[in-house]
Amino acid sequence: MSAIQPMDPKIFELIEHEKQRQREGIELIPSENYTSAAVMEACGSILTNKYSEGYPGKRYYGGQENIDAIENIAIDRAKKLFGAEHVNVQPYSGSPANTAIYFALLNFGDTVMGLKLDHGGHITHGLPIAFSGKAYNFVQYEVDKNTGKIDMEVVRKLALEHKPKMIVAGFTAYPRDIDWKKFKEIADEVGAISVADISHTAGLIAGGVLESPVPYFDVVMTTTHKTLRGPRGAMIMCKEKFAKAIDRAVFPGLQGGPHEHIIAGKAIAFGEALNPEFKIYAKQIQTNARALAEAMKKRGFNLVSDGTDTHLILADLTNKGVPGKQAQMVLDSVGITLNKNTVPFDTRTPMDPSGIRLGTPAVTTRGMKEPEMEMIADWLDRVISNIEDTALHTKIKEEVKEMCLKFPVPGIN
């Protein structure tokens, strides 16, 4: 940071403010986490200066000997971590990675199945106003209204009816584990390509907490942050028979020069995830999520699917009489960050929905455990139950800060 302050004091000041916010607050957004200092150093390194269009050994520019070695290390570590046949570590983020998969294996207008957005799916899983929904004929499956869980027999009936060319399994706001074997059986029954989006649970899968779809599915995409605790980015894993199509879709199909400073950060994060300590971390994420869910239920929160198998909790605040947007804003003011979120069969709008989405990857990285989950649930309840009590909010903000300062954020002195 020493070079930023004299060159651009305003940006320096804002970064310092963000550092303070992260240090003094509780991060509950389930797609956010803290990287190690080593990952951050790689992402801010001189590797950002190098253009490297192409792949290791097949670049379009010279001077690639160090870049090729770094990218190959990232690939090899990802293969070892997930047991994948082929890995492409170049996608810039999750949405471009999913787009690359579609571009590689589908024709525009092909029928695809994906989880509906307000039932836990992602915008790239067929949202009508997004590229995926406009370019392809998406058939969307939903969760069961009574259980809040995916009914695999309903998925099978939809697949038999619509005969999709591809079935996408994965989520961004679904709290439960996924039956990968059953999804694969359905895909095989109708002759569909099977694609798993494990962006949220990759760290739990790498840590051995959840079952992996890699042995079964044709293609698996994941972001490299979230529970995997690496830099913002993505990668695509696939069976060898799809390797050439996937690589061509990423480059030159959709991307130019890869971000090799980020790929170096990915390599470091994969190395960290291969350490035995990562399994302990992954298990604690799940333990914390279950503890937080139970503590919230004790305080009258209505949880979609009545709990969680993963790192993620989705709460419907209708019974609390507080919309998700208002809850997010007021909780922000006391130093607790989460996001407003639609819930299945929501009667409110996406920008002012009924629910909130929260998770435990970041707080677990800081070392928080079950006692802190109980404290967090209590703060959530006190704020939401007293949404207009600003004096109470001020008191809770100090309580939050006091607790957070006991748990350092990696990379922040």
The residue-averaged pLDDT of 175-182 equals 97
The residue-averaged pLDDT of 41-63 equals 97
Query: Mind listing the pLDDT tens digit for each residue in 102-137?
Result: 999 999 999 999 999 999 999 999 999 999 999 999
- Domain end, chosen from 251, 273, 295, is at 273
CATH code, 344: 3.90.1150.10
The predicted pLDDT at position 258 comes to: 97
CATH code, 141: 3.40.640.10
**What single string gives the DSSP state of each residue in 144-202?**
-TTT-SB-HHHHHHHHHHH--SEEEEE-SS--S---HHHHHHHHHHHTPEEEEE-TTTH
Confidence of residue 411 (pLDDT cuts 50, 70, 90): confident
The residue-averaged pLDDT of 335-360 equals 97
Whether 321 is covered by a domain: the verdict is: yes
* Cα 286 to Cα 309: distance, rounded to the nearest angstrom: 7
Name the average pLDDT for the chain. Answer: 97
In the block, which residue shows the tokens 């240090």?
Answer: 23
Whether 410 is covered by a domain: the verdict is: no
Count of beta carbons in the 10 Å neighbourhood of residue 11 = 11
The predicted pLDDT at position 412 comes to: 84
Q: Is the domain of 181 the same as that of 236?
A: yes
Active-site positions read 51, 53, 197, 223, 226, 232
Whether 241 is covered by a domain: the verdict is: yes
- Based on C-alpha coordinates, what's the Rg of the chain? 21
In the chain, the amino acid numbered 150 is I
Q: Is the pTM of this model over 0.75?
A: yes
* Cα 263 to Cα 257: distance, rounded to the nearest angstrom: 12
Residues contacting residue 255 through CB under 8 Å, at least 6 positions apart = 90, 91, 92, 96, 100
CA angle 373, 360, 194 (to 5 degrees): 145
Q: Is the domain of 173 the same as that of 117?
A: yes
- Domain end, chosen from 243, 273, 303, is at 273
- Residues of the chain with pLDDT > 70, as a percent, come to 100
Q: Is the domain of 269 the same as that of 288?
A: no
Q: Is the domain of 255 the same as that of 337?
A: no
Q: Is the domain of 51 the same as that of 143?
A: yes
Q: Note if the bond before 91 is cis, omega within 30 degrees.
A: no
Number of domains present in the structure of the chain: 2
Confidence of residue 1 (pLDDT cuts 50, 70, 90): confident
With contact defined as beta carbons under 8 Å apart, do 250 and 55 qualify?
A: no
pLDDT higher than threshold 70 for residue 413: no
For residue 2, give the 3-state DSSP assignment. coil
Whether 21 is covered by a domain: the verdict is: no
CA distances from 56 to 136, 162, 258, 264, 269 (A): 32, 40, 11, 14, 20
Q: Is the domain of 181 the same as that of 242?
A: yes
pLDDT higher than threshold 80 for residue 400: yes
Residues contacting residue 22 through CB under 8 Å, at least 6 positions apart = 34, 409, 412
With contact defined as beta carbons under 8 Å apart, do 283 and 60 qualify?
A: no
With contact defined as beta carbons under 8 Å apart, do 166 and 113 qualify?
A: yes
Whether 9 is covered by a domain: the verdict is: no
With contact defined as beta carbons under 8 Å apart, do 374 and 387 qualify?
A: no
* Cα 105 to Cα 407: distance, rounded to the nearest angstrom: 45
The residue-averaged pLDDT of 306-322 equals 98
Residue in 104, 135, 214, 123 with CA at minimum distance from that of residue 173: 123
Q: Is the domain of 76 the same as that of 160?
A: yes
Count of beta carbons in the 10 Å neighbourhood of residue 206 = 25
- Domain end, chosen from 222, 241, 273, is at 273
Confidence of residue 78 (pLDDT cuts 50, 70, 90): very high
Q: Is the domain of 153 the same as that of 56?
A: yes
Q: Is the domain of 122 the same as that of 150?
A: yes
Q: Is the domain of 293 the same as that of 344?
A: yes
Q: Is the domain of 169 the same as that of 211?
A: yes
Query: Mind listing the pLDDT tens digit for each residue in 253-287?
Result: 999 999 999 999 999 999 999 999 999 999 999 99
Q: Is the domain of 101 the same as that of 165?
A: yes
Give the range of the structural domain holding residue 290, as residue numbers without chain letter: 284-404
The predicted pLDDT at position 317 comes to: 98
